[in-house]
């Protein structure tokens, strides 16, 4: 199925969680802020958010240093 | 009419600055006229606004405000002195943001850090050798008080979490995220977007190394919410954190905080 991630169409497996999707991008979910269909997702909910067809996802990834 | 240290004084044609003001503040040796320092005696003009200072003497609170005001864009001082800025982490980014906020006279600062000053901090952070081992919060309060003794500086000495951030910073007007670790940077933004809605927020990501200056950007991601950095340059072996580039990013953050306080978007 297709979702839109950071304005780009992406093919993802049915039933994939937000947590798994971020891990598959080779990112540490703790370093990512996610907005799913306009809603900011709390970190503890990443594993419970199952992606739906046509979902609009915005991911903001942070790198260390300051 | 002249204004001398905020007091109205009758203007007399032909009066000269140093001679005319000798009785008003004996021993004054710094003269500021209409916001600019004057090095030699000058003929005063009707309406001039003069400040007389004794070198080495700490100005009073009122004097300090007026002296700051003189060098600021009109209207800025009145707003920043009422503002409260929170800074999460006072390391490389946060210590420079804090100094910039103190220098423009932000009235209230809330500084949070759990760490102590270490030698490896001194390559970029606004601390001094004689402060090694001090809590960063205490050391920064000491340093900022030397910049401006009339600021209110509140300290949170401890580790912040995604859960505690909204409570600790509930009263600030704008919040700067100056953490070192990527996980806390993300946690800070999540906390702000879910439980500090409507507050200004300026985060950071990608400030390490010495890559091109102009890759550092201030990007708006939501209303009053910004991220500064190149979004790529992580601190890593071979790509350290150094004063110049961290400083560029810190001052992007500081200027964006000021812009939010002044209602620019």
pLDDT band per the 50, 70, 90 thresholds, residue B19: confident
Q: With contact defined as beta carbons under 8 Å apart, do B165 and B203 qualify?
A: no
The Cα–Cα gap between B97 and B118 comes to 19
For range B207-236, the mean pLDDT: 97
Whether residue A65 and residue B206 make contact (CB cut-off 8 A), yes or no, is yes
Sheet of A8-11, strand order: A8-11, A2-5, A56-61, A32-36, A39-40
Is the ipTM of this structure higher than 0.90?
yes
Q: What chain B residue is nearest to A39 in terms of C-alpha separation?
A: B194
Q: Let me know if domain B2-57 sits in CATH 3.10.20.30.
A: yes
Half-sphere exposure of residue B79, counting CA atoms within 13 Å on the CB side? 15
pLDDT above 80 for B69 = no
List domains and CATH numbers for chain A: 2-61 (3.10.20.30)
User: Which pLDDT value is given to residue A36?
Assistant: 97
Q: Which helix (H) or strand (E) holds B194?
A: helix B182-195
Which residues does residue B217 pair with via DSSP β-bridges, in sequence order? B229
- Tens-place pLDDT, residues B97-121: 999 999 999 999 999 999 999 999 9
Is any Cβ of chain B less than 8 angstroms from the Cβ of A40?
yes
Whether residue B205 and residue A62 make contact (CB cut-off 8 A), yes or no, is yes
User: Which pLDDT value is given to residue A12?
Assistant: 96
pLDDT above 80 for B240 = yes
Partner residue opposite B183 with nearest CB, options A31, A40, A42: A31
Is any Cβ of chain A less than 8 angstroms from the Cβ of B200?
no
Is any Cβ of chain B less than 8 angstroms from the Cβ of A31?
yes
pLDDT band per the 50, 70, 90 thresholds, residue B71: confident
Question: What CATH number should be reported for the domain whose range is B76-261?
Answer: 3.40.50.720
Domain ranges of chain B: 2-57, 76-261
Instruction: Report in angstroms the alpha-carbon separations of A49 from A40, A43, B235.
Output: 11, 10, 31
pLDDT above 90 for B39 = no
pLDDT above 90 for A7 = yes
pLDDT band per the 50, 70, 90 thresholds, residue B48: very high
Whether residue A64 and residue B234 make contact (CB cut-off 8 A), yes or no, is yes
User: Mean pLDDT of all residues in chain B?
Assistant: 94
Is any Cβ of chain B less than 8 angstroms from the Cβ of A60?
yes
């Amino acid at each position: 199925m297709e979702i839109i991630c950071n304005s780009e169409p992406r093919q993802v497996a049915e039933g994939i969680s937000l947590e798994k999707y971020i891990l598959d991008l080779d990112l540490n979910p703790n370093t990512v802020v996610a907005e799913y269909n306009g809603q900011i997702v709390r970190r503890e909910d990443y594993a419970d958010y199952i992606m739906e067809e046509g979902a609009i996802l915005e991911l903001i990834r942070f790198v260390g240093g300051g | 009419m002249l204004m001398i240290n905020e007091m109205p004084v009758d203007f007399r044609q032909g009066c000269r600055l140093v001679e005319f003001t000798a009785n008003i503040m004996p021993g004054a040796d710094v003269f500021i006229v209409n916001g600019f320092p004057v090095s030699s005696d000058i003929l005063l003009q009707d309406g001039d606004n003069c400040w007389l200072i004794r070198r080495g003497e700490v100005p009073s609170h009122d004097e300090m405000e007026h002296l700051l005001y003189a060098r600021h864009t009109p209207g800025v001082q009145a707003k920043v002195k009422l503002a409260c800025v929170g800074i999460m982490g006072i390391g490389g980014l946060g210590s420079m943001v804090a100094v910039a906020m103190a220098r423009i006279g932000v009235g209230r600062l809330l500084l949070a850090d759990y760490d102590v000053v270490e030698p490896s901090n001194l390559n970029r952070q606004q601390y001094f050798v004689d402060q090694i081992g001090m809590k960063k919060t205490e050391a920064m309060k000491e340093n900022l008080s030397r910049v401006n003794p009339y600021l209110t500086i509140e300290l949170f000495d401890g580790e912040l979490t995604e859960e505690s951030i909204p409570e600790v910073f509930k009263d600030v007007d704008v919040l700067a995220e100056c953490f070192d670790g990527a996980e806390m940077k993300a946690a800070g933004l999540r906390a702000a977007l879910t439980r500090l809605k409507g507050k200004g927020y300026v985060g950071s990501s990608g400030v390490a190394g010495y890559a091109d200056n102009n890759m550092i950007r201030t990007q708006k991601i939501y209303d009053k919410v910004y991220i500064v950095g190149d979004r790529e340059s992580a601190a890593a072996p071979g790509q350290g954190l150094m004063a110049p580039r961290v400083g560029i990013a810190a001052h992007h953050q500081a200027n964006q905080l000021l812009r939010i306080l002044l209602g620019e978007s």
